[in-house]
Chains A and B, each alone.
Chain A
Amino acid sequence: MALPQPHSPSWSAFFEEQSSAARDERLQRFYAAETLDPDTPIANAPLVAMDFETTGLDPAQDEIISIGIVPLSLSRIFCRDSSYWVVRPTRQLDEDSIVIHGITHSEIAAAPDLERILEELLAALEGKLAVVHYHPIERNFLTNALHQRIGEGIQFPLIDTMILERRILEYQKGLLDRLLRRPSEPIRLGHCRARYHLPHYQPHHALTDALATAELLQAQIFHHFSPETPVGELWC
């Protein structure tokens, strides 16, 4: 399945096709929701920042263990409507990852399987444009998890603040930098935030990272794009 490319309006065609092609009722409903026109100015787009914590970085091996969701618009981030779930992976948690995200075995043991919260998760995403930092994690882990559970994956448009940051840095780089192939500046979430004078937040908590990503997007748009920038130029 080929993913639609930036500037192409085909996300809506893809959603329309999937609303009948998907077998799972929850996915049908998700795809049937109204999709955002690529010409919509970012200021008018309903957005939702999302972050996953995983047991590792390989979507084929590792699994999601927590999900943070924070809805926002370009001007406001709405913590009141945010969500956070810890979900139980099918495989054992190794000690290394516990050190990173701080979620313990007992929390995991008490947590539901991802399928039990799928309906809620899709409802939070429905009709909104998702915002993530480093999209391969969210895109691949979610679709794999669904394949594993209901036999089909999921795809939707995403704004990746890491991709935006790379574009911004490339643009800012002088010709000389490019000719000399000077190394790029780091583009981890914390590094990006520091460039916009955003405060340091403790990383690796899905809800905090979602909030951090939401703030970063606002900063990036106000500094380098405009409230009028069409979402089609930002999503992937």
Chain B
Amino acid sequence: MQTEQLEIAAFLAKTPPFDGLSEEALNGLASQVEVTYFRAGSDILNLADPIHDLFVVRSGAVETFRRTGELHNRLAEGGIFGQMGLMMNERVRYPVKALEDTLLYCVPVDLFKDYCDRYETFADYFEGEATSLLQRAVESHHDKNDLTSVQVKELLTRPMISVAGDVSVRQAAQIMGEQHITSLLIVERTHRPGGEAVGLTGLITDQDLRKRIIAQGRSLDTPVAAVMSEDMITLDRNAYVFEAILTMLRHHVHHLPVLDRGEPIGVLSLLDVVRHESQSSLLMVRSIFGQPDREALAQIAQQSRAVFVRMVKEDANSQMIGSAMAVIGRSFKQRLLELAEAELGPPPAPYCFLALGSMARNEQLIYTDQDNALVFNERYDAKAHGEYFDRLARFVSDGLVECGYSYCEGGIMATNPEWRMTLSEWKARFGEWIDNPNPQALLHASIFFDLDGVWGRTRWAQELVRFIASKTRNNRRFLACLARNALNRTPPLGFFKDFVVEKGGQHANSINLKRRGTAPLTDVIRVHALAVGSRAANSFERLDDVMDSELLPDGKGREIRDALEYIAMVRIRHQAWQIETGNTVNNNIQPEQLSSFERRNLKEAFQVLSNAQSFLKYRYNSNIPLR
């Protein structure tokens, strides 16, 4: 039996989007809501918990938070929350806390969905919001940098490094050097029932070492306690970044020890704050174009690691991270070309600068080399123009190395005259590889066929992509060879479905996630993509085209996508961890570093790769017609 809830209906009648409902619809809704009270300070929704209702704040106020713990929004009477979770996967996306004593009206999910189906204005309100998600993702970069909403603890990305007071100044300096830090905490550890207490006794900085030791000619055996600063200004871990800046300015200090319930947990330096401020990928791209020379570019290139780590922490997926890093890499190329043209004068012939491989696929990560090439039109005259473009290519290539993109070992760079050709020469070369697919041609095909124009006449790059697609589509012989070539790198699974690790060498007992995982999957996807005439370069976009063509059995495309995403994310998270712990970044992971859950999933993903390779063998066997 439904009974009219007068107070609830009256309130909803003046609250969007309920105010757009007819009286009947409104009363129906009001009679079915649930009500719940939360005391100020209590948790209303916890991250990733199941969510079953749309919530309307009837009285009081709540705060919603990002995954990172940053404040996302404050809602008062009439505010609505929970819709994102309901529309995505029925999990809480933004945790919610009661700021004041709060009374909530809850619209159960089945009722919410029923009303979305039945009342267009109601659905529009929420769907409009969902489409602006992307926009919000972009906006959130601004929020992230909002000094008033980020807390100090989020900037402390490494464990505390500290020493006892009797440690010598020499040892302290060694530790600071090894850890790449400019200050060191001096602590006193005391044992007490229930654990160890850590008390902060002092701080020593680079500057202290210079002024109080070297300048005064004191012995390096002096204990740090004798020269450390003792009356330090400290910050609580929950202080906001702007408070940290104000404190630093007011007291003329560049290092602030950070405390958690009175115990030190790290040091915040001015540099940390500045770095935080310039980490978002959008800001980074903007600043790339503002750098006056190669030296300055190389300086800010160091930030790309921080952007990468930050995106991983913000739970970005591999596609978002891959394309953000590719955009950054592309921006470096573009700025370097601008600078090169400024230095060498305007180009004597029009050209297009190509990016190849992972950058072209928008799948770039942090540890990567440069693959690039040049395209000209028929006006190009090697004798007259060759020297200019040789210098241009060298300028860019050297500049990229300075920015952390190492030279291509295979010499696939615009500095190599072999990879500076006119459009028709490129087509002839590609045609040759496709018609005569020997091992060398196939190797080149798998690099050059992922291409993207980054500068100059970029439509020539598009023309090359169209040319490749038209030549390879349904080309049984070429595809059969490319498919065989895609089987060269196998997943690291043994006969009993256990991991097969590298036997010896520097990376013994590890698995190379790129060579044994993402790269062979990318190869498999490329074969299918070329078979269906896809012009996309990104593996996920290629898979979409392949799935549309119904070339793969039902569900297989989805499986490959999930496997690629999973392996890529393990690789990305591993690299983020390596960056944060100051290790060399590579693609090698030791299975025992993974949880049993991750190991199981990773095996499953490798099994998908293995199955996909078997299917490739069968599908592109030259005896079977393609369509």
Contacts and interface: CB of A to CB of B under 8 A. Distances in A.
Given A77-B34, A197-B59, A83 B103 contact: no
Nearest to A199: B59
Contacts of A91: none
A80 to B, nearest CB: 5
Interface residues on chain A, size class? 20 to 34
B5 A82 contact: yes
A189 to B, nearest CB: 13
A83 B100 CA distance: 31
A77 B36 contact: yes
Given A197-B60, A215-B103, A76 B34 contact: yes
Interface in A25-53: none
Contact of B35 (A68, A76, A202): A76
Contact of B7 (A76, A82, A211): A211
Contacts of B30: 79
B134 interface: no
Contact of B34 (A78, A197, A222): A78
Contacts of A205: 6
B342 interface: no
Contacts of A143: none
Interface in A184-211: 196-199, 201-202, 205, 207-208, 211
A219 interface: yes
B106 interface: yes
Interface stretch (B37-45, B327-335, B442-450): B37-45
A197 B7 contact: no
Interface string B19-39: 000000000001111111111
Contacts of A214: 35
A215 B37 contact: yes
Contacts of A197: 59-60, 100-102
A218 interface: yes
Contact of A211 (B35, B36, B59): B35
Contacts of B2: 80
Nearest to A85: B3
A80 B6 contact: no
Contacts of A215: 35, 37, 103
B37 A208 contact: no
B276 interface: no
Nearest to A84: B3
Nearest to B5: A79
A226 to B, nearest CB: 11
Interface residues on chain B, size class? 20 to 34
Contacts of B36: 75-77, 218
Interface string A63-104: 000001000000111111011100000000000000000000
Contact of A208 (B6, B32, B42, B101): B6
Nearest to A218: B37
A215 B106 CA distance: 13
Contact of A207 (B6, B38, B59): B6
A112 to B, nearest CB: 14
A7 to B, nearest CB: 26
Contact of B37 (A68, A80, A82, A219): A219
A223 interface: yes
A211 B32 CA distance: 13
Nearest to A80: B32
Contacts of B11: 199
A83 B42 CA distance: 31
Interface in A214-236: 214-215, 218-219, 222-223
A199 B37 CA distance: 11
14 contacts: A68-B3, A77-B35, A79-B34, A196-B37, A196-B101, A199-B58, A202-B7, A205-B6, A208-B7, A211-B7, A218-B37, A219-B37, A219-B101, A222-B38
Interface of A: 68, 75-80, 82-84, 196-199, 201-202, 205, 207-208, 211-212, 214-215, 218-219, 222-223
The 10 A-B pairs of least Cβ separation, nearest first, read A197-B101, A77-B35, A218-B37, A199-B59, A84-B3, A222-B39, A80-B32, A201-B7, A76-B34, A219-B37
Given A201-B7, A222-B39, 13 more contacts: A76-B106, A77-B34, A79-B8, A79-B31, A79-B33, A80-B2, A82-B5, A84-B3, A198-B59, A207-B6, A218-B37, A222-B37, A222-B38
